Structure 1
């Protein structure tokens, strides 16, 4: 409710906000070039695209967007992330169209976006209760009161905003990462309690959600990029590292058993494959050996 009231207040107030950030000689890995709110978005046509990454979303009203010869509608709860140099046109549709935008670059911008699964111009939708709009509005308000214009705070807030796009944004009608995690949450909580049971298999995990093993693996790949059993192995190794970090100095055999492995040699092999070192090497690296 607070987010809706704040959004309407901005629209009624109708004050355009635009802030530019000067970049220093040593360019940040990720930096904001400009950010703002436009209460009456004007038509824009860029035959050569824009020089920076450009996020544009609707706050109220609706816009028409033309991209690569195709036309799209941009109602509230929709946004697009344009890559540099992509030709585009957008115009208001019907009544006044108010938008939020942010443009950005940086030496690691491409790789950061790729790590979030965004490798080209994308179109996103999200639910009203997602924090994307509120976070971007907060960034604009902070820019308004940031006296030094260093851009450092904006850079960190930009990274958070991009992760929100990854978590809550839906593309091509598919479910968002947040929706996948919601579906998996009962199983993830169950695994956190029962990871030490060596009998757990893919079928047991699927039964916790009442779905097929094949669909379970599809959900895990969409959420984490790995299979359900690969997630369980990573969970067991993480729990094993926590056990090794404690002061009671359990043996490798004890840690293997507590982490869901019957055979210490199997645990050592799995640990080495995941961490690139043996459990004892891990202990020495972190100063845990006696």
Structure 2
């Protein structure tokens, strides 16, 4: 089992640069958890996925990915953005594979990616003149010389990096798996608008795409590592967190209703299972008084 140690760390053997950050009680709405350069990328297997969003790109050589039972290659000028909890494994293809990576999270991370049109695990490539690699290397270099152990500066640069992925990243010529995942895009956009309707269920989502509920769940497990209805719950909780982060004070009952729950007690229960705390505790962590 992998253990995440949230601290700033630089390992100099073989010029490996790996930085992890101390995160305070009040995590930023968008934060960098770790960032680094690995000149000799080792094999990694995560049956339960990674707990944060994970961007991994090839700097030199080539890697081989296993994702949802399919194999993919990650040559130079290619990167993968993995969503939390998606099972995967990767290993060098050949003698040497050098990588750059950044892992990140926060209450607004998924919303930001959705606003950029990234709603599920993506596989991107870019032209040689695209600034994606240079931007990430600049972030790593600055982190190396930065005295800030909370990752504030790296997190501030993360937004720019993600927008560069959107601007310069290309998805053409992708594999059949990712072509299948594209089928989810119309549904995900619809759910962003209709999540507050408590009547929405698995059957409605499947009918929206004209596929069976079983196939819909298979697509969601490939993209997110969870079922379609579990995604809807996660979306509702994320929207509720956004509402609670606003300065205007809304009651828990009102937030529950806006998020798709008829009964506030069901909302509080779902929030606790997802976030490990009550809505009021979340508010206090955001510095909002009751």
**1:88 alignment partner in structure 2:** 88
Instruction: Please name the residue that 2:42 is paired with.
Output: 42
Q: Who is 2:77 aligned against?
A: 77
Distance 1:166 1:109, change over 3 A: same
| SS of match in other structure, 2:101 | strand
The structure number with the bigger radius of gyration is 1
Match of 1:134 in 2: 134
* Larger relative contact order (CA 8 Å, sep ≥ 6): 2
After superposition, give the CA deviation of every residue in 1:112-143 in whole Å (9 maximum; x if it has no partner). 00000000100000011100000000100111
Whole-Å separation in 2 of the counterparts to 1:120 and 1:169 = 15
**Structure 2 residue 33 is the aligned partner of structure 1 residue 33:** yes
Which secondary structure does the structure 1 equivalent of 2:120 belong to?
coil
CA distance in 2, matches of 1:15, 1:50: 24
Aligned mates of 1:134, 1:146 — CA distance in 2:
18
Tell me the distance in 2 between the aligned counterparts of 1:38 and 1:128: 20
Aligned-pair CA distance for 1:171: 1.0
Residues 1:147 and 2:147 are matched in the alignment:
yes
Normalised TM-score (structure 1): 0.55
TM-score after normalising by structure 2: 0.55
Report the count of equivalent residues: 162
Shift of 1:14: 4.4
Gaps of 5+ in 2: 1-12, 175-290
Match of 1:207 in 2: none
Deviation per residue, 1:170-220 (Å, 9 max, x gap)? 01338xxxxxxxxxxxxxxxxxxxxxxxxxxxxxxxxxxxxxxxxxxxxxx
Matched with 1:19 is 19
Map 1:229-248; keep pairs closer than 5 Å.
Answer: none
Deviations 1:204-263 (A, max 9, x none): xxxxxxxxxxxxxxxxxxxxxxxxxxxxxxxxxxxxxxxxxxxxxxxxxxxxxxxxxxxx
Matches within 5 A, 1:170-209: 170-173=170-173
Structure 1 equivalent of residue 254 of structure 2: none
For 2:153 and 2:75, locate their aligned partners in 1 and report how far apart those are by CA, in whole Å: 30
The equivalent of 2:125 in structure 1 is: 125
Q: 1:20-42 deviations in whole A, cap 9, x for unaligned?
A: 11111111110000000000000
Could you tell me which residue of structure 1 aligns to residue 197 of structure 2?
none
CA distance in 2, matches of 1:173, 1:37: 27
1:61 aligns with 2:100: no
Distance 1:154 1:55 in 2: 14
Q: Which runs of 4+ in 1 moved over 4 A?
A: none
> CA–CA distance in 1 between the matches of 2:32 and 2:132?
16
Query: Once the 2 structures are TM-superposed, how far is the Cα of residue 95 of structure 1 from its aligned partner?
Result: 2.2
Equivalent-residue separation in structure 2 for 1:172 and 1:87 (angstroms): 24
d(CA) in 2 for partners of 1:69 and 1:171?
Answer: 20
Where in structure 1 are there 5+ consecutive unaligned residues? Answer: 1-12, 175-290
SS in 2 for 1:97: strand
1:14 and 1:79 mapped to 2: Cα distance?
23
